[in-house]
Amino acid sequence: MTTLSQAGPATSVRTAEPAASLRRVTVSYGATTALHDCSLDIAAGETVALLGPSGSGKSTALKALAGFETPTSGTVHLGGRDVTTASPAQRGIGIVVQSYALFPHMSVRKNVGFGLRARRIASAETRRRVDETLRMVGMFDYADRMPDELSGGQQQRVAIARALAIRPNVLLLDEPLSALDASLRQSMVHELQQLKDKLPGLAVVYVTHDQNEALALADRIAVMRNARIESLGRTEEMFNHPPTEFSATFLGGADVLPARILEDAAAGAPLRADYLGHVLEAVAREDSAAGQTVGLAVRPWSWTVVDGGSSSNPALRVEVTGVQWRGSSHRVQAVSPETGQTLHLERTAGQPVPQVGDSLRVTVEPSEILVVPVEKSDVS
Ligand code: ADP
C-alpha cells in the first residue's frame, strides 16, 4: 500500500488542537442566513460528514472552512491557527467538488501538479509527488490523458489527486460522487475508504445528502437543517440512537408516531405510550415521566406484517397506497385509516409483496422503536 508522507504545515503533532474548527460561524447573504452560529471541530485523522437536505447550509459550512466565504460573525481555525481572514490559497486545504472542475486544457499530470507549481515547488519534487498521488488513486497510467478522454469516475479520481498533491492536513469533499451513476458511486465509496487508510492523519469533511455515503465513510455525522447543525455524534450512535426526530427521519427513514407516555419509566425499562388510542410498548431511552409527549420512530424494516401470530405490540391496520421496487427490496407506502398517518414498510426478498389497495395489519417489537423527543414547533 502506498502511504503518503504528510509534508504539510507541522500542526497535527504539536498539540491536540483540532485540525479544523468552525467557532460560532454565521454566514448571511442579505436577509438569508445560510449558516447560523455553527461550531464544529474536526480532529486530525477524522472524517466528519455534513449530512442534510438541499439548502440546509452544508456547502456554506464547507466554503467557510475553505475560505471561499467570509463569516458574517465567528471564526475559522486550522490546527489552532485563526484563519478567518486568510485566503483559500493561504489555508492549504484540499478541496473536491461535485463537478470535478478539472482544467480542460491541461493533461492529468498538469492538473494534479497545478497546486504544487503555484506553490513554486521544484519541478523534480512536483513530478515525484504527482506520480505518488496518481498511483494512490489508481490513475498513474492515465497521466498523459486530457480530462475529456476520461470517464466521470476517472475525472473525479484526478480531482481528488489534485486536492491531495499539496499534502493538505484537511480535505473538503462537497458531494464528490453525486455526478456519478449508482454503481460507480458504490465503488468510489470503497476507494475513498481505502484512501483514508493510506492517509491516517488527514482530516476530512464530507458534504452529502446521501445517508449511505455518510454511514460508510464518516466517523461522526453532523445532521444539518435550516442553516444549523441539528445533531452531531458518532456515526453508529447517530444511526442506532438518533437524538432527534429529524435525525431519525433523515438517517434510516423512520416514521415518527406522536405518543404520550402513560407511566413513569426509568432509562432502559419498558415504556408504555399512547399513540392516538393505540398503546405501544417501547424501551425508555432516558428516565421518562407520565404525560410527556415523545416520538416513537420506526424504520421501514422494523415493521412486521402480522398474519395471525401473536406479537408484543398490538397491530395497526393500514391500507397500501403505493409499492416501489428497489431491486433487493420493496418499499411499501401505507396509510392508517384510524390515525391518518402514512407509514413506510420494507419487504425484503422472499417476503410476500402486498398490492395497492390491500389491507394489512402491522406491528413492531418494543426494542425496534426509537424513542425521540418531539419537536416543540415546526422549525421549517
Ligand atoms: P446545501 O449545501 O445544504 O444545499 P447551501 O449551503 O448551498 O446548502 O445553502 C444554504 C442556504 O443559503 C440556501 O437557502 C441557499 O439558497 C442560500 N445561499 C447559498 N449561497 C448563497 C448566495 N451566494 N446568495 C444567496 N443565498 C445563498
Residues 184 and 114 reside in one and the same domain: yes
User: What distance in Å separates the CA atoms of residue 302 and residue 296, rounded to the nearest whole number?
Assistant: 12
Q: Distance from the CA of 56 to the center of ligand 1, in angstroms? A: 8
Decide if pLDDT at 378 tops 70. no
Choose the final residue of a domain: 240, 271, 297: 240
Residues 80 and 227 reside in one and the same domain: yes
| Strands 81-82 and 359-363, bridge-based pairing | unpaired
What's the pLDDT at 99? Answer: 78
Are the C-beta atoms of 66 and 58 separated by less than 8 Å? no
Nearest CA, atom 23, ligand 1: 29
Residues 249 and 216 reside in one and the same domain: no
What's the pLDDT at 178? Answer: 87
Residue 352 DSSP code: P
Phi, psi for residue 37 in degrees, rounded to 5: 45, 55
Share of the chain above pLDDT 70, in %: 94
Nearest CA, atom 22, ligand 1: 29
- Which range of residues forms the domain containing residue 337? 245-372
Nearest CA, atom 7, ligand 1: 59
Residue 380 domain-assigned?
no
Reported pTM? 0.90
Choose the final residue of a domain: 205, 240, 275: 240
Extract the C-alpha cell encoding 24.
Answer: 460560532
What's the pLDDT at 12? Answer: 43
Residues 329 and 196 reside in one and the same domain: no
Residues 204 and 339 reside in one and the same domain: no
Q: Which atom of ligand 1 is nearest to the CA of 59?
A: 2
What's the pLDDT at 14? Answer: 47
User: What distance in Å separates the CA atoms of residue 62 and residue 65, rounded to the nearest whole number?
Assistant: 5
| Strands 293-298 and 255-261, bridge-based pairing | antiparallel
Write out pLDDT tens, residues 128-146: 999 999 998 999 999 999 9
User: What residues are in contact with ligand 1 under a 6 Å CB criterion?
Assistant: 29, 32, 34, 52, 54-60
Extract the C-alpha cell encoding 49.
Answer: 460528514
Q: Distance from the CA of 33 to the center of ligand 1, in angstroms? A: 8
Q: Which atom of ligand 1 is nearest to the CA of 30?
A: 25
Choose the final residue of a domain: 174, 206, 240: 240
CATH code for the domain of 46: 3.40.50.300
Q: Distance from the CA of 25 to the center of ligand 1, in angstroms? A: 15
Q: Which atom of ligand 1 is nearest to the CA of 34?
A: 12
Q: Distance from the CA of 237 to the center of ligand 1, in angstroms? A: 29
Mean of all residue pLDDT scores within the chain:
91
Q: Distance from the CA of 60 to the center of ligand 1, in angstroms? A: 6
Phi, psi for residue 91 in degrees, rounded to 5: -80, -25
Per the structure, the count of domains in the chain is 2
Residue 377 domain-assigned?
no
Residues 262 and 210 reside in one and the same domain: no
Write out pLDDT tens, residues 9-67: 444 444 579 999 999 999 999 999 999 999 999 999 999 999 999 999 999 999 999 99
Q: How many CA atoms lie within 13 A of 301 on its CB side?
A: 5
Top mutation candidate among 38, 60, 68, 210 for ligand 1, by most atoms within 8 Å of CB: 60
Write out pLDDT tens, residues 172-222: 999 998 888 888 888 889 989 998 998 999 999 999 999 999 999 999 999
Residue 92 domain-assigned?
yes
Residue 379 domain-assigned?
no
For the sheet with 220-225, list strands across it.
94-97, 170-174, 203-208, 47-51, 220-225, 228-234
Phi, psi for residue 124 in degrees, rounded to 5: -65, -40
Q: Which atom of ligand 1 is nearest to the CA of 174?
A: 2
Residue found by looking up cell 480542460 in the block: 104
Tell which wins on pLDDT, 86 or 3.
86
Nearest to 285 by CA among 303, 262, 269: 269
User: What distance in Å separates the CA atoms of residue 25 and residue 97, rounded to the nearest whole number?
Assistant: 22
What's the pLDDT at 353? Answer: 92
Decide if pLDDT at 239 tops 90. yes
What's the pLDDT at 15? Answer: 53
